[in-house]
Structure 1
Amino acid sequence: MELIIDNVSKTYSNGVKALQNISLEIPKGMFGLLGPNGAGKSTLMRTIATLQEADEGTISLGDLDVLTQKNEVRHVLGYLPQQFGLYPKISAEALLNHFAVLKGITNKGERKDVVNALLHKTNLYNVKKQNLGGFSGGMKQRFGIAQALLSNPKLLIVDEPTAGLDPVERNRFYNILSELGENTVVILSTHIVEDVKELCTTMAVINQGKVILKGNPLKIIEELEGKVYQRTIVKSELETYKQNYQVISEKLFLGKPIIHILSDTNPGNGFTPVKADLEDVYFSQIFGSNTNLKSVL
């Protein structure tokens, strides 16, 4: 089964063009959708999840028309939004059981088996009697995945799932998503480059409502090999370097700024070549306006 998005556009009443002719083919497995806050990722996810209308375009999941067959799509959809509410005074087991009833799992024995299996899968079985109000952020996210999996979905959408999680919880979440991606179309929408680098075999970068790059992460990284250089600078020199070089990123190391630039030839002047990574790809697309990487599938 494949998700096909064809020329989807959405403009809000205030004139903001949230999506502009978005076209993507998303196969079974982990697909990463990268972009800064406000890029249009959540708008696209809500549209795919049948929660809002598109102005133009089509979306299909196998034989289903996502924009017109909403009820049918919801039966095979799992969705973990960026923000979701939980009842703090209800246990994880009780609320997941309630959601299972709403999903149509009416047989008590079957429902108990499904709930217990999902609590085990998300490593929440030992705290199933604990009220959700006492859960950490990572535990709440794992509960969110559990409820999203109740319908054994063919399409799973997770929107900014690891934001705010500590490294241990993030790795645990990676493992869950990676396992799910073996049999399901999983869309991971995030602004955290590491999420896509760790999990996804296909990806797209979206900015200002447009897809500006798509393909296989490793092949896309190859496009930048031999073109990324770095140098430690004095902070007051940053603007000068931005005027003279194509600066794609800056970060601190031991309190000193290090910049990465793109250059087809060795720029000299104290710059040293570095191995390109997905962060360089991402920042080159978002901030390196002169870069035009082709899609690599």
Structure 2
Amino acid sequence: MELIINNLSKTYANGVKALQNISLEIPKGMFGLLGPNGAGKSTLMRTIATLQEADKGTITLGNLDVLKQQNEIRKVLGYLPQQFGLYPKISAEVLLNHFAALKGITNKPTRKELVKSLLHKTNLYDVRKQNLNGYSGGMKQRFGIAQALLNNPKLLIVDEPTAGLDPVERNRFYNLLSELGENTIVILSTHIVEDVKELCTNMAIINQGQVLLKGNPLKIIENLEGRVYEKTITKPELESYKNNYQVISERLFLGKPIIHILSDTNPGNGFSPINADLEDVYFSQIFGNTTNLKSII
């Protein structure tokens, strides 16, 4: 089963073109949707999740029309939005049981076993009696995944799931999503490059409502090999380097800027070649005006 998006577009009433002819084929497994805030990621996720209409285009999941068969899609969809509310004075076990009942799981023993299984899967069973207001950010995210899995979805959408999590919680979440991706289409929408690098076998970069690049992360990185160079400079030199080189990223180390540039030939001038990574790919697309990496399958 694949999720196929074809020429999807959405323009809001204020004139913002949130999606511009988006086309993607998303197979079973982990798919990373990478882009900066405001790129159109959440609009695309909400549209796939049947929470808003598109102006034009189609989305199909297997033989289901996502835009026209919304009730059928919701039966096989799990969704963890970027922001979601929880009842703070209710335990995880009670609330998950309540959600299961709302999703039509009426047999009490079946529902009890399902809730128990999901609490184990998300590593929350030992704190199942604890009220949700005592949960950490990562625990709340894992509870969000648990409720999204109640209907054994064929498609799972998670929108910015690791923002604000500490490294330990982020690794736990990575492991959970990786396990889920073995049998489900999982779309991970994020602006954190590390999330995609750690988890996804396929990805797309979008910005200003358009797909800039799509393909396998490792193959995409290979395409940049031998083209990324690094140099430590002084702060007053930064603007000059931006004017004379294709600077794709900059960071500070011991107070001095380290810049990465994209060049088809060795630029000399003290630059050193480095191994490209997914962050270089991302910044080259968002800031480097690169146009020759459109699709690498």
* TM-score bracket, shorter-length normalisation: over 0.9
Aligned residue in 2 for 1:241: 241
Deviation at 1:169, TM superposition (A): 0.3
Deviation at 1:294, TM superposition (A): 3.2
Deviation at 1:256, TM superposition (A): 1.8
Aligned residue in 2 for 1:61: 61
Q: Which amino acid aligns with 2:223?
A: E
Aligned residue in 1 for 2:201: 201
SS at match of 2:119: helix
Q: Distance in 2 between matches of 1:217 and 1:93?
A: 38
1:132-211 alignment runs, 5 A limit: 132-211=132-211
1:286-297 alignment runs, 5 A limit: 286-297=286-297
Work out whether 1:276 is the aligned partner of 2:242: no
Aligned residue in 2 for 1:43: 43
Q: Which amino acid aligns with 1:276?
A: A
| CA displacement 1:23-60 (0-9 Å, x = unmatched) | 00000000000000000000000000000000000000
| Runs of 4+ with deviation above 2 angstroms | none
Q: Which amino acid aligns with 2:80?
A: L
SS at match of 2:258: strand
Aligned residue in 1 for 2:123: 123
Q: Distance in 1 between matches of 2:59 and 2:137?
A: 32
**Contact 1:284/1:291 (8 A) holds in 2:** no
SS at match of 2:296: coil
1:55-94 alignment runs, 5 A limit: 55-94=55-94
Q: Distance in 2 between matches of 1:187 and 1:235?
A: 39
Q: Which amino acid aligns with 1:30?
A: M
Alignment gaps of 5+ in structure 1:
none
Q: Distance in 2 between matches of 1:192 and 1:216?
A: 17
Alignment gaps of 5+ in structure 2:
none
| CA displacement 1:268-287 (0-9 Å, x = unmatched) | 11110000000000000000
Q: How many residues align?
A: 297
Q: Distance in 2 between matches of 1:163 and 1:236?
A: 33
Q: TM-score, normalised by structure 1?
A: 0.99
Greater Cα shift, 60-69 or 251-260:
251-260
| CA displacement 1:1-22 (0-9 Å, x = unmatched) | 1000000000000000000000
Q: CA RMSD in A?
A: 0.7
**Contact 2:212/2:294 (8 A) holds in 1:** no
Q: Identity percentage over the alignment?
A: 85
